[in-house]
C-alpha cells in the first residue's frame, strides 16, 4: 500500500493524535462530518463539540484539519458536512425533563445557552465561521453544496421555517486538484446543452443535492446518507485510492468507499461506535485497531 499505511481499518483513537502519525501525502480525499457544536454529549472524554465556546470549537477543528491537510496528497480534497446551532437551543436552565433526565441528546444543559455575540434564539452561524477559518488557515474554499433533505425532520417551531438543509463544503489542498466532474454529472434537460457542454447528454453537477436521510437502527444518532458520501468519493478519489474520515461514526464513508472500489481509513474515538461501524460495513475481516 502507498507509504506503507494500512487501509480498510477502523482506528479507535483520538483523531488528532492519529492524524499526526500518518505519513505526508498518503490519502486522496477526506469525506467527513464532525460532531456539531453543542448538539450532543456522547459521554466520552476529549470529544469534539463540547468545547466551552464556538470559537474554541472552531479553533480545535482548524487544528485537526491542518494535520489532515498534511496527510492529503497535493491534489487532495476535503468534503466537510457541518450543521448549525441556535443560541439557547435545548436549554432549560437548571431544570431537567423527568421522563429523560439526560435529555434527548444526552445532555441536561446545552452549551449553546450563552454564546458571546449572540442573543437568545440567534442562529450562531457555525458553518460559515468554520469555512472562513479554514480558508484563512490555507485551504481553498471551492464550493458550498446545499444538502437538501427531502424528508427533513419536523421541528416544533412556529416563528421560523423548519430547517431542511445542511452545508457540505468542498475544500482543496492546492489550486489544482483531482476532480472527476463526469462521475457525478447529471442528466441534461436542455437538448442544446447536451450537444455543447461536452458531457454527451449530461450536465455538470449542480450545488444543490436533494438526498433523503436514511434510517439507521444503530445507537449512533447522526449518520449521514451513503449517497451523499458516494458523490463526494466518486468526484475526488480515483478507483483504488484512499478515503479518510477522522470522524468515522457509524461508518458511512467507509461503506460508500468499499462499495465503490476505494480503500478507506476510519478514525473514531468511541469504542462502541467503532463496533457499530464494523457491523454496518459488514465484513468480518475489518479490523478495529488502536495503533496504525
Residue 92 in domain: no
Nearest to 61 by CA among 253, 273, 246: 246
Residue 108 in domain: no
Residue 185 in domain: yes
User: Tell me, what CATH number does 35's domain have?
Assistant: 3.40.50.150
**Close Cβ partners of 205 (under 8 Å, ≥ 6 residues apart):** 181, 184, 185, 186, 231, 235
Residue 103 in domain: no
292 — pLDDT class (breaks 50, 70, 90): confident
Q: How many domains does the chain fold into? A: 1
Distance of CA 156 to the CA centre of its chain: 26
Residue 271 in domain: yes
Alpha carbon distance 2, 25 (integer Å): 10
- What is the span of the domain harbouring residue 212? 2-85+123-289
Q: What is the largest CA-CA distance in the chain?
A: 64
DSSP state of 4: G
Residue 186 in domain: yes
Alpha carbon distance 267, 272 (integer Å): 13
Tens digits of per-residue pLDDT, 79-126? 999 999 888 755 444 444 333 344 444 445 566 777 888 998 899 999
Residues in the chain: 292
Q: DSSP 3-state assignment of 51?
A: coil
Tens digits of per-residue pLDDT, 195-238? 555 668 999 999 999 999 987 665 545 578 999 999 999 999 99
Residue 195 in domain: yes
Amino acid at each position: 500500500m502507498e507509504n506503507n499505511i494500512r487501509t480498510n481499518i477502523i482506528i479507535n483513537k483520538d483523531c488528532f493524535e492519529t492524524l499526526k502519525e500518518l505519513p505526508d501525502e498518503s490519502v486522496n480525499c477526506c469525506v467527513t462530518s464532525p460532531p456539531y457544536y453543542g448538539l450532543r454529549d456522547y459521554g466520552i472524554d476529549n470529544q469534539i463539540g463540547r468545547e466551552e465556546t464556538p470559537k474554541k470549537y472552531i479553533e480545535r477543528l482548524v487544528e485537526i484539519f491542518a494535520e489532515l491537510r498534511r496527510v492529503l496528497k497535493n491534489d487532495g480534497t476535503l468534503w466537510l458536512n457541518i450543521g448549525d446551532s441556535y443560541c439557547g437551543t435545548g436549554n432549560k436552565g437548571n431544570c431537567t425533563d423527568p421522563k429523560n433526565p439526560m435529555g434527548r441528546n444526552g445532555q441536561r444543559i446545552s452549551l449553546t445557552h450563552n454564546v458571546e455575540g449572540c442573543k437568545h434564539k440567534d442562529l450562531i452561524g457555525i458553518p460559515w465561521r468554520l469555512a472562513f477559518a479554514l480558508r484563512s488557515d490555507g485551504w481553498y474554499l471551492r464550493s458550498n453544496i446545499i444538502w437538501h433533505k427531502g424528508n427533513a425532520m419536523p421541528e416544533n417551531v412556529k416563528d421560523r421555517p423548519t430547517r431542511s438543509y445542511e452545508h457540505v463544503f468542498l475544500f482543496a489542498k492546492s489550486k489544482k486538484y483531482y476532480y472527476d466532474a463526469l462521475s457525478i454529472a447529471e442528466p441534461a434537460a436542455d437538448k442544446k446543452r447536451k450537444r455543447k457542454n461536452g458531457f454527451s447528454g449530461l450536465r455538470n453537477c449542480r450545488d444543490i443535492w436533494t438526498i433523503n436521510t436514511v434510517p439507521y437502527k444503530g445507537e449512533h444518532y447522526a449518520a449521514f446518507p451513503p449517497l451523499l458520501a458516494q458523490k463526494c468519493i466518486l468526484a475526488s478519489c480515483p478507483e483504488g485510492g484512499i478515503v479518510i474520515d477522522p470522524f468515522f461514526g457509524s461508518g458511512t464513508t467507509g461503506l460508500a468507499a468499499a462499495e465503490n472500489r476505494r480503500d478507506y481509513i476510519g478514525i473514531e474515538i468511541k469504542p462502541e461506535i467503532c463496533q457499530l461501524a464494523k457491523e454496518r460495513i459488514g465484513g468480518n475481516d475489518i479490523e478495529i485497531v488502536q495503533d496504525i
